[in-house]
Structure 1
Amino acid sequence: MTLSFPNPSRSFDEGRKGVRFIGHDGVFEVPFFIEADALEKLGSETGRLDTSPAGCLSAFDRRRTAIHDVAREVHTNRRRTSYTLNAADFR
């Protein structure tokens, strides 16, 4: 089954400085976390990332499709129970 993201919810994790979101592989929830550095790399064409909760969530929303595409690729290649996406995952 293909990883999907039917729930658009996401949340900022203050302790880890990044955004949490959930994918679904069939009936299984697959938790993801994307580090603020990865969000900054994705938004590099617009300058430095505002690392506040609102800034990170906004950056996530602007690049949601690209983030979901990388999450699918990582899930396919690394089968785990949870994933952390970092700047190196975004070529």
Structure 2
Amino acid sequence: MALLGRVRERLIAVLQFPNPSRSYDASRHCVCFWGYDNSREITFMVDDAILRNLQPGVGSDEQSVLGAFDEFREKVLEIAKKQYAGGPQNRYLIL
């Protein structure tokens, strides 16, 4: 019975975002942030077009894009959690 519990634990992806760090990648036009599934670091990149959809009229400079990310952080993290599937992949692009 204990083995079955361990198998179930492994099937449930537990993604957390304890690190509030984020950065803007101007060459890719995205904001990068990191989540953790146990000790595994997972990189997420949210396209700045997504942030413009959430906040129409946001500028295209780094400060404006990061400000939009900060304002809608919880919504972006919710999208990231839905997209995350666990397994060997450690990079996700949110389009």
Q: After TM superposition, is the score higher than 0.5?
A: yes
| TM-aligned CA deviation for residue 78 of structure 1 | 8.6
Q: How many residues align?
A: 83
Unaligned runs of 5+ in 1: 87-91
What is the distance in 2 between the residues matched to 1:78 and 1:49? 35
Identity %: 30
1:76 match: secondary structure? coil
Give runs of ≥4 in structure 1 deviating > 2 Å.
Answer: 76-80
Amino acid at match of 1:4: Q
Give 1:69's aligned residue.
Answer: 78
Q: Give the Cα–Cα distance (whole angstroms) in 2 for the partners of residues 77 and 30 of structure 1.
A: 9
Alpha-carbon deviations, 1:20-40, whole Å to 9, x = none? 000001110000000110111
Q: CA deviation at 1:2?
A: 1.3
Provide, for residues 66-88 of structure 1, a one-character-per-residue CA deviation record: whole Å limited to 9, x for no partner.
Answer: 000000000038972200001xx
Tell me how far apart the structure 2 counterparts of residues 10 and 26 of structure 1 sit (CA, whole Å).
20
Superposition TM-score, scaled by structure 1 size: 0.84
Taking CA–CA contacts closer than 8 Å with sequence separation of 6 or more, which of the two structures ends up with the larger relative contact order?
1
Letter in structure 1 aligned against 2:28 = R
TM-score, L = length of structure 2: 0.81
CA-atom RMSD in angstroms: 1.7
Residues 1:73 and 1:83: Cα distance change in structure 2 (over 3 Å): same
1:53 to 51, 62, 65: 62
